[in-house]
Structure 1
Amino acid sequence: MATKSSTNQSDGFTAEERAAMKERAAELRAEGKKGAKKADGLQAVLDRIAQMAPGDRELAERVHVTVTANAPELSPKTWYGMPAYANADDKIVVFFQDSGKFNSRYSTLGFQDTANLDDGDMWPASFALKTWSSTVEKRVAELVRAAVS
């Protein structure tokens, strides 16, 4: 996905992406109580992302776009104040922890035990994120698709 447009000076959400997310939130609210809960979760994630420092915000925005594009069945929500994505059972599958949350040198993309990433007796369940690139995006997309498979 494009990370820049003439209406957006950062590597964050484009104006088109922001508009699409607002439209989706309105659609969910229109679906009733269950839809409203999803819309509230989406809004909470977008609000949390907006509060992050610029570098963390750009990473979180790209993670959000990548997760929602590759696992549309996951519902955005906040989890311990972090953007997260839950399955149909409302169990967290993947989350993003910004570096500012605990004053660390990198942000983290993490997976909970509901993610289908098992690989023998030991496998990674979290990944450090410092910058976003096409290589990082490809790897995150692969991990998210595997997590929900």
Structure 2
Amino acid sequence: MADAGFSTEEKAAMKQRAAELRAEAKRQKVADKAAAEAQDAVDAIAAMTDVERPIARMVHEVVAEHAPGLAPKTWYGFPSYANADGKVVVFFQPGAKFGTRYSTLGFQDAARLDDGSIWATSYAVTDDDAATRASVAALVRKAAGL
């Protein structure tokens, strides 16, 4: 019988999220919480593999340009972007995090991607070329309600 528990990678992600929550609690006292959270996102991107880092930087740049109202932070160790209520709207999950063959651009339920009775909430991203950048920009604008 297969173990129905969490994988080593999933346990590590949960521990990382717990550490993020502890850091957030400490930051309640920090004058510039937003700057500290933005730096966490930049640091998470810098720690990625050489293949994933350019894609994550592209996502970071696209969000800053097309949805400046979304604030960068980390979420389960991923660079993510939250609305004014602090709810994550979009995140970038590097493939290496869970040993998958591609990275993922994902959207949480705060994203406004609704399209009828079925719509995608995540996309595989394998390149940071102009066409991918344009697609990401369109999704981010829609998710942010712009």
In 2, Cα distance between the equivalents of 1:133 and 1:49? Answer: 18
Matched, 1:73 2:91: no
In 2, Cα distance between the equivalents of 1:43 and 1:148? Answer: 21
Deviations 1:120-145 (A, max 9, x none): 11000000011111111001000111
In 1, Cα distance between the equivalents of 2:58 and 2:143? Answer: 18
* Higher RCO structure, 1 or 2 (CA under 8 Å, sep 6+): 2
CA RMSD of aligned residues (A): 0.9
Unaligned runs of at least 5 residues, structure 2: 1-29
TM-superposed deviation, 1:91: 0.1
TM-superposed deviation, 1:74: 0.5
Letter in 2 for 1:111: F
Q: 1:134 matched to which residue of 2?
A: 130
How many equivalent pairs are there? 116
Q: 2:111 matched to which residue of 1?
A: 115
Among candidates 49, 53, 62, match of residue 53 of structure 1: 49
In 2, Cα distance between the equivalents of 1:61 and 1:148? Answer: 19
SS of 1:131 mapped into structure 2: coil
Letter in 2 for 1:52: M
Letter in 1 for 2:38: L
In 2, Cα distance between the equivalents of 1:41 and 1:113? Answer: 21
Matched, 1:102 2:98: yes
Name the TM-score, length of structure 1 as normaliser.
Answer: 0.76
Large movers: runs of 4+ above 6 Å: none
In 2, Cα distance between the equivalents of 1:53 and 1:148? Answer: 28
SS of 1:54 mapped into structure 2: coil
In 2, Cα distance between the equivalents of 1:120 and 1:102? Answer: 31
In 2, Cα distance between the equivalents of 1:56 and 1:129? Answer: 9
SS of 2:86 mapped into structure 1: coil
Q: 2:38 matched to which residue of 1?
A: 42
Letter in 1 for 2:73: K
